Protein backbone atom coordinates (compact mmCIF):
# COMPACT_ATOMS: atom_id res chain seq x y z
CA UNK A 1 0.00 0.00 0.00
CA UNK A 2 2.86 2.39 0.67
CA UNK A 3 3.68 2.56 -3.03
CA UNK A 4 0.15 3.76 -3.78
CA UNK A 5 0.73 7.02 -1.94
CA UNK A 6 4.38 7.71 -2.72
CA UNK A 7 4.85 11.13 -4.28
CA UNK A 8 7.54 11.91 -6.85
CA UNK A 9 10.09 14.29 -5.35
CA UNK A 10 10.65 17.87 -6.45
CA UNK A 11 13.66 18.07 -8.74
CA UNK A 12 13.23 14.49 -9.99
CA UNK A 13 12.35 13.57 -13.54
CA UNK A 14 8.67 12.67 -13.64
CA UNK A 15 7.81 9.02 -14.27
CA UNK A 16 7.21 8.14 -17.93
CA UNK A 17 3.96 6.54 -19.05
CA UNK A 18 1.69 6.06 -22.04
CA UNK A 19 -2.02 6.71 -21.73
CA UNK A 20 -5.28 6.97 -23.61
CA UNK A 21 -6.88 10.41 -23.44
CA UNK A 22 -9.91 12.16 -24.87
CA UNK A 23 -7.54 13.59 -27.49
CA UNK A 24 -5.76 10.34 -28.40
CA UNK A 25 -2.81 8.46 -26.92
CA UNK A 26 0.06 10.37 -25.34
CA UNK A 27 3.54 9.54 -24.12
CA UNK A 28 4.36 11.57 -21.04
CA UNK A 29 6.56 13.52 -20.66
CA UNK A 30 8.18 12.77 -24.05
CA UNK A 31 5.35 14.30 -26.13
CA UNK A 32 5.64 17.52 -24.15
CA UNK A 33 9.37 18.10 -24.42
CA UNK A 34 10.11 21.82 -24.52
CA UNK A 35 6.83 22.75 -22.82
CA UNK A 36 5.69 23.32 -19.27
CA UNK A 37 2.87 21.01 -18.19
CA UNK A 38 0.22 21.13 -15.49
CA UNK A 39 -0.83 17.51 -14.91
CA UNK A 40 -3.80 17.42 -12.55
CA UNK A 41 -6.09 14.73 -11.21
CA UNK A 42 -9.73 14.95 -10.18
CA UNK A 43 -11.77 12.50 -8.08
CA UNK A 44 -14.39 11.58 -10.70
CA UNK A 45 -16.34 12.67 -13.77
CA UNK A 46 -19.88 14.00 -13.41
CA UNK A 47 -19.24 15.57 -10.00
CA UNK A 48 -20.03 19.22 -9.22
CA UNK A 49 -16.69 20.46 -7.86
CA UNK A 50 -14.72 18.75 -10.63
CA UNK A 51 -17.02 20.27 -13.24
CA UNK A 52 -16.38 23.77 -11.89
CA UNK A 53 -12.64 23.06 -11.95
CA UNK A 54 -12.61 21.94 -15.58
CA UNK A 55 -14.58 25.01 -16.63
CA UNK A 56 -12.15 27.22 -14.68
CA UNK A 57 -9.10 25.54 -16.26
CA UNK A 58 -10.59 25.87 -19.75
CA UNK A 59 -11.39 29.56 -19.27
CA UNK A 60 -7.68 30.11 -18.49
CA UNK A 61 -6.33 27.72 -21.10
CA UNK A 62 -5.17 30.54 -23.39
CA UNK A 63 -3.27 32.11 -20.48
CA UNK A 64 -1.51 28.82 -19.78
CA UNK A 65 -0.64 28.47 -23.46
CA UNK A 66 0.84 31.99 -23.45
CA UNK A 67 3.25 30.64 -20.84
CA UNK A 68 4.13 27.68 -23.12
CA UNK A 69 2.22 25.48 -20.70
CA UNK A 70 -0.17 22.63 -21.48
CA UNK A 71 -2.91 21.16 -19.30
CA UNK A 72 -3.57 17.43 -18.84
CA UNK A 73 -6.42 16.10 -16.68
CA UNK A 74 -6.69 12.62 -15.16
CA UNK A 75 -9.05 10.45 -13.17
CA UNK A 76 -9.73 6.75 -12.64
CA UNK A 77 -12.56 6.70 -15.17
CA UNK A 78 -12.88 5.07 -18.57
CA UNK A 79 -12.37 7.22 -21.65
CA UNK A 80 -16.07 6.75 -22.52
CA UNK A 81 -17.01 8.49 -19.26
CA UNK A 82 -14.59 11.33 -19.98
CA UNK A 83 -16.01 11.79 -23.49
CA UNK A 84 -19.60 11.84 -22.25
CA UNK A 85 -18.73 14.28 -19.46
CA UNK A 86 -16.95 16.61 -21.89
CA UNK A 87 -20.02 16.41 -24.16
CA UNK A 88 -22.25 17.30 -21.20
CA UNK A 89 -20.09 20.32 -20.32
CA UNK A 90 -20.22 21.50 -23.93
CA UNK A 91 -23.98 20.98 -24.34
CA UNK A 92 -25.16 22.18 -20.92
CA UNK A 93 -22.59 24.84 -20.05
CA UNK A 94 -21.37 25.96 -23.48
CA UNK A 95 -17.72 25.25 -22.68
CA UNK A 96 -15.47 23.20 -24.99
CA UNK A 97 -12.76 21.36 -23.03
CA UNK A 98 -9.76 21.59 -25.36
CA UNK A 99 -7.10 19.84 -23.31
CA UNK A 100 -6.76 16.05 -22.96
CA UNK A 101 -8.10 14.00 -20.06
CA UNK A 102 -6.27 10.76 -19.24
CA UNK A 103 -8.40 7.66 -18.78
CA UNK A 104 -6.55 5.89 -15.96
CA UNK A 105 -9.24 3.25 -15.42
CA UNK A 106 -6.71 0.72 -14.04
CA UNK A 107 -5.26 3.29 -11.64
CA UNK A 108 -1.67 2.59 -12.69
CA UNK A 109 -0.72 6.22 -13.34
CA UNK A 110 -2.48 7.41 -10.18
CA UNK A 111 -0.44 4.96 -8.11
CA UNK A 112 2.73 5.88 -9.99
CA UNK A 113 2.22 9.58 -9.20
CA UNK A 114 0.82 9.22 -5.66
CA UNK A 115 -2.65 10.45 -6.61
CA UNK A 116 -4.77 7.88 -4.74
CA UNK A 117 -6.79 9.34 -1.88
CA UNK A 118 -6.05 7.38 1.33
CA UNK A 119 -9.21 6.20 3.02
CA UNK A 120 -11.50 6.99 0.08
CA UNK A 121 -11.25 3.90 -2.08
CA UNK A 122 -9.70 4.33 -5.51
CA UNK A 123 -10.62 7.99 -5.97
CA UNK A 124 -7.83 10.31 -6.95
CA UNK A 125 -7.08 13.42 -4.90
CA UNK A 126 -7.06 16.90 -6.43
CA UNK A 127 -3.35 16.77 -7.18
CA UNK A 128 -1.42 19.23 -9.35
CA UNK A 129 2.02 18.45 -10.77
CA UNK A 130 3.93 21.24 -12.51
CA UNK A 131 6.56 19.87 -14.87
CA UNK A 132 9.18 21.96 -16.68
CA UNK A 133 10.28 21.63 -20.33
CA UNK A 134 12.99 19.12 -19.36
CA UNK A 135 10.51 16.79 -17.68
CA UNK A 136 11.55 17.79 -14.15
CA UNK A 137 8.92 18.02 -11.41
CA UNK A 138 8.98 21.57 -10.07
CA UNK A 139 5.91 21.85 -7.84
CA UNK A 140 3.17 19.70 -6.29
CA UNK A 141 -0.15 20.92 -4.88
CA UNK A 142 -2.68 18.73 -3.03
CA UNK A 143 -6.30 19.56 -2.28
CA UNK A 144 -8.97 17.49 -0.51
CA UNK A 145 -12.01 16.29 -2.40
CA UNK A 146 -14.17 18.86 -0.64
CA UNK A 147 -12.27 21.95 -1.86
CA UNK A 148 -11.83 23.06 -5.45
CA UNK A 149 -8.54 24.49 -6.68
CA UNK A 150 -7.62 28.11 -7.38
CA UNK A 151 -6.50 28.16 -11.02
CA UNK A 152 -5.15 31.71 -10.79
CA UNK A 153 -2.70 30.47 -8.14
CA UNK A 154 -1.59 27.65 -10.45
CA UNK A 155 -1.04 30.18 -13.24
CA UNK A 156 0.90 32.41 -10.83
CA UNK A 157 3.08 29.49 -9.79
CA UNK A 158 3.97 28.56 -13.37
CA UNK A 159 4.82 32.17 -14.21
CA UNK A 160 6.87 32.58 -11.01
CA UNK A 161 8.88 29.44 -11.72
CA UNK A 162 9.63 30.63 -15.24
CA UNK A 163 10.81 34.05 -14.05
CA UNK A 164 12.91 32.48 -11.30
CA UNK A 165 14.60 30.22 -13.86
CA UNK A 166 15.20 33.00 -16.36
CA UNK A 167 16.42 35.67 -13.93
CA UNK A 168 17.94 33.71 -11.03
CA UNK A 169 15.66 35.35 -8.46
CA UNK A 170 13.12 34.29 -5.84
CA UNK A 171 9.53 35.43 -5.56
CA UNK A 172 8.06 36.90 -2.35
CA UNK A 173 4.79 35.88 -0.75
CA UNK A 174 1.72 36.85 -2.77
CA UNK A 175 3.89 37.96 -5.68
CA UNK A 176 3.26 40.16 -7.62
CA UNK A 177 1.31 41.85 -4.82
CA UNK A 178 3.63 41.41 -1.86
CA UNK A 179 2.93 43.48 1.26
CA UNK A 180 6.58 44.58 1.63
CA UNK A 181 8.06 44.89 -1.85
CA UNK A 182 5.09 44.84 -4.23
CA UNK A 183 5.92 43.28 -7.60
CA UNK A 184 9.69 43.30 -7.06
CA UNK A 185 11.70 40.10 -6.83
CA UNK A 186 14.21 38.86 -4.26
CA UNK A 187 17.92 38.53 -4.96
CA UNK A 188 19.27 35.26 -3.50
CA UNK A 189 20.97 35.89 -0.11
CA UNK A 190 24.76 36.33 0.04
CA UNK A 191 26.65 33.19 0.99
CA UNK A 192 29.92 34.78 2.15
CA UNK A 193 31.11 37.96 3.90
CA UNK A 194 32.55 39.62 0.81
CA UNK A 195 29.30 39.24 -1.10
CA UNK A 196 27.36 40.53 1.90
CA UNK A 197 29.47 43.73 2.00
CA UNK A 198 29.17 44.08 -1.77
CA UNK A 199 25.39 43.84 -1.54
CA UNK A 200 25.13 46.87 0.72
CA UNK A 201 27.56 48.88 -1.44
CA UNK A 202 25.51 48.11 -4.54
CA UNK A 203 22.34 49.05 -2.68
CA UNK A 204 23.85 52.41 -1.77
CA UNK A 205 24.78 52.87 -5.43
CA UNK A 206 21.16 52.31 -6.39
CA UNK A 207 21.59 48.99 -8.24
CA UNK A 208 18.89 47.42 -6.08
CA UNK A 209 17.26 47.89 -2.66
CA UNK A 210 17.96 46.15 0.65
CA UNK A 211 16.44 45.93 4.10
CA UNK A 212 19.75 44.32 5.05
CA UNK A 213 22.48 42.36 3.24
CA UNK A 214 20.43 39.16 3.44
CA UNK A 215 17.21 40.73 2.16
CA UNK A 216 17.76 42.55 -1.13
CA UNK A 217 15.25 43.00 -3.93
CA UNK A 218 14.85 44.68 -7.32
CA UNK A 219 12.52 45.34 -10.21
CA UNK A 220 12.69 42.81 -13.01
The residues annotated with a catalytic role in the active site are 50
d(CA 212, CA 167): 21
DSSP state, residue 16: P
DSSP 94: -
Spell 159-189 as b/e; 16+ CB within 10 A means b: bbbbbbeeeebebbeebbebeebeebbbbee
Q: Which DSSP helix (H) or strand (E) runs through 74? A: strand 69-75
Which of 190, 192, 193 is CA-nearest to residue 208?
190
Q: Cβ(55)–Cβ(91) under 8 Å? A: no
Among 165, 163, 214, which Cα is nearest to 187's? 214
DSSP lists the bridge partners of residue 186 as 170, 217
Q: At what angle do helices 151-167 and 48-59 cross, to 10 degrees?
A: 40
Query: Can you give the length of the chain in residues?
Result: 220
Amino acid sequence: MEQDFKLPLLGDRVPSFEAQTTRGRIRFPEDYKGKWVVLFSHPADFTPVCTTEFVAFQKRYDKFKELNCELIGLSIDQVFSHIKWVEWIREKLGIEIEFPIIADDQGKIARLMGMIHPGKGTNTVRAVFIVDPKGILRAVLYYPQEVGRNMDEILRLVKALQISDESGVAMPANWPNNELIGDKVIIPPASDEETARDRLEKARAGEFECFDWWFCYKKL
